[in-house]
Structures are given as structure tokens and as C-alpha cells.
Amino acid sequence: MSKLFEATTFGPYQLQNRIVMAPLTRSRALDGDIPSPLAIEYYEQRASAGLIIAEATQISPQGKGYISTPGIYNAAQVQAWRPITSAVHARGGRIFLQLWHVGRISHSSLQPDGALPVAPSAIAAQGQSYTPEGFKPLETPRALELAELPGIVAQYKHAAELAKEAGFDGVEVHGANGYLLDQFLRDGSNHRTDAYGGSIENRARLMLEVVEAVVSVWGGDKVGIRLSPLSPFNDIKDSTPQATFSYVVEQLNRFNLLYLHLVEGATGGPRDVDGGFDLSELRRIFKGLYIANNGYDKAMAETAVNEGKADLVAFGRPFISNPDLVHRLATGAELAALDPATLYGGGAKGYTDYPALSA
């Protein structure tokens, strides 16, 4: 049996295997950013994963960037998440919550009082936002004032506290894919001239302050972070990614984080991206566990774990159409195909109705 399917220690927890269900936006939350009751069955069906990282979840109304995504900033949301975490635990699984602020990847129609989305600088990203009226071009955001940044950190801390109340086993800080923390980190989107812009140290400041605040709630052994150093997703870019991310990962070691979850290559795209450095350097620098992500199949995942190139491997879309993905990978069974038309929005179809092999 491959190490991929063996139980493993994960901070204070024991996982059933080294297979992680990656966070997957499905856009099925109810009004008020409340997780749908359907999500109870959805996550329960997939609880044979060693770890589930629940879908990206906004830390505040301002952090929202897509219709029908869930939040973790009020009591009603906590109440809706509790039966989800309980269902996963009843099946012997573990579940973390990914904390999310999209920054400029939003639209005024999704923001409180129709305000502009916020960002480190007033620089629009190329792309579209999925709004209640359909797709609309991303707008030029409003640059956050220096005095507002402690409030952003406080939003992450509050969300971390509510995630604990909701019964999650830990949290993942979303620092990837061109969202707010990634926008501050990259010099393509951060043109600030204050203490949060200019040098790599300044651009990394907000991310590190957020991690420190979240760790103050959970402890480092129950916190992970997701980064995507080479991904151009959401029109994000940096002139010196090697120096930028080597610095960030080195600084993250101060917090004794449980894991680094790395998107290897372009998010949802090719693994081979010309970025000028080898991502294995970040694996070498980081002192915690390493979760590899992006386009892995069974053979790639087994090789990565058996050769010590990854401690765990995250699978995304295969978990959508294969609720029993762990069993299928372990037995070599054929994987069910995904229906792209039901990825985002809707109800049970394409969400909870994919059958397990035993069915």
C-alpha cells in the first residue's frame, strides 16, 4: 500500500490518509452568505478524505467577490456551519475552513451599499465578476487607507474565532490566487508608498499580520496557508517571485504553522509555468508540512508522497464528481466525469447526486 493511503499525524490530529479535498467554490450559499443545508450532505459524502479544506469563505461582507459564496462573520453563518462540521466528524473526517477576502476581484453590486471593492492600490484587474446580473467587467478598486488595515486584520481574527465556534478543526489563510493578501504581496498590484508597499518586507506585512492574528486564536498547529507563487490567476503578477515568496515562507516559520498549501503552477491550469525559480526551494525553506496541489493524479500523488516531495496531496475537481475519491484511487477504479454545467450555482444536481461506487 502506498504511503498516500496510510494514516498520518497532522498537528494534533491523526488523519485517515494523506489525501486532501481542496477548497472548491460551488456558489450554493443562501441569502446572507449562509451555507446551504445541502452542504451537510456534500461534505459528509467526501469525509473519507484525510482532510477537507472547506470552500473559500469570506471573512466580511466586503470580502465577497462572487454570488452565493458562504461567509464566516456572523452567528447565523456559524449556526449553519455547525451541522456540516459535525457530519464530517461523525464520519471520522477532519475539516478546516479557508478564510477569504477577495479584495479587488469583486464588483460594486456585491459590496455593501454598492461601494467599490477594495485593494492595496487603485489598479483594476483584467477579468470579470460573476454578479447577480451575470458577468460584469472588474472595476477599478478603491485603495485601502492605512488606518483601515488594522480593521482587515481584525476581520480575519474574528472569522477565525467564529470558525472555532462552528466546530472546524483548524483554518487555512487564503493567500493565493490574486485575492487580497496576494494583491498586497505582489508588486504588480501593490503600488503603495507607505509601510505596506514598496519593499518585499512591506508588501508582505499584511499577510504576516493576518497570520499572526489567526494563530493567536488557534495556535500555529491548527493553521495553514495557501500560496500560488507562479499562478497568474486573477491578473496577478510579481517582478521577483523567487525573492518575494522565499522571504514570505521564511517569515511564516516564525508562527510554527501546521502546513503550507502550494498551488504548483497556474491555478487550474498548467503545472509548468516559467517563473524563474524552482518551487521545491519553498518546500525546503518551510519547516511545517507541505500540501501539494494542482493537476495531480494517483501516480503523481503516490510518487510525491513516497519520495518525500509532499506530505499530503490536494485533489480538487475529482472530488466533485467522485465523493468516494479515496476509495476509487486506492482500488484503481475509474473516475466519474464532471458535469461543467453544474459546477457553480443550482441545487442538488451536480452537487450531492454524484453516486459512490457502492451505490
Q: Which of 102-106, 156-160, 179-183, 229-233 has the lowest mean pLDDT?
A: 229-233
Has residue 273 got a pLDDT over 80? no
Determine the angle formed by the axes of helices 75-90 and 149-165, rounding to 10 degrees.
50
**Residue 2 CB-density burial (10 A; 0-12 exposed, 13-18 middle, 19+ buried):** middle
| Model pLDDT for residues 306-343, shown as the tens digit of each residue | 999 999 999 999 999 999 999 999 999 999 999 999 99
> CA-CA distance, 267 to 232, in Å (whole number)?
8
Has residue 281 got a pLDDT over 90? yes
Which pLDDT belongs to residue 88?
98
Which pLDDT belongs to residue 157?
98
Has residue 277 got a pLDDT over 90? no
Q: Which whole number is the average pLDDT over 283-309?
A: 97
Has residue 359 got a pLDDT over 80? no
Contact 179, 225 (CB under 8 A): no
| Model pLDDT for residues 38-62, shown as the tens digit of each residue | 999 999 999 999 999 999 999 999 9
Has residue 1 got a pLDDT over 80? no
Q: How many CB atoms lie within 10 A of CB 109?
A: 13
Q: Which whole number is the average pLDDT over 148-154?
A: 98
Which pLDDT belongs to residue 69?
97
The grid cell for 200 is 518585499
Which pLDDT belongs to residue 23?
98
Compute CA 214 distance to the chain's CA centroid, rounded to the nearest angstrom. 15
Round the average pLDDT of the chain to a whole number and report it: 96
Q: Which of 42, 179, 196, 290 is catalytic?
A: 179
Has residue 133 got a pLDDT over 70? yes
Contact 201, 247 (CB under 8 A): yes
179 is catalytic: yes
Has residue 140 got a pLDDT over 80? yes
Instruction: Give me the helices (H) in the chain, please.
Output: 38-45, 75-90, 149-165, 180-185, 200-203, 205-218, 241-252, 280-285, 298-306, 317-321, 325-331
Which pLDDT belongs to residue 270?
74
Is it true that domain 3-342 has CATH number 3.50.50.60? Answer: no
Has residue 83 got a pLDDT over 80? yes
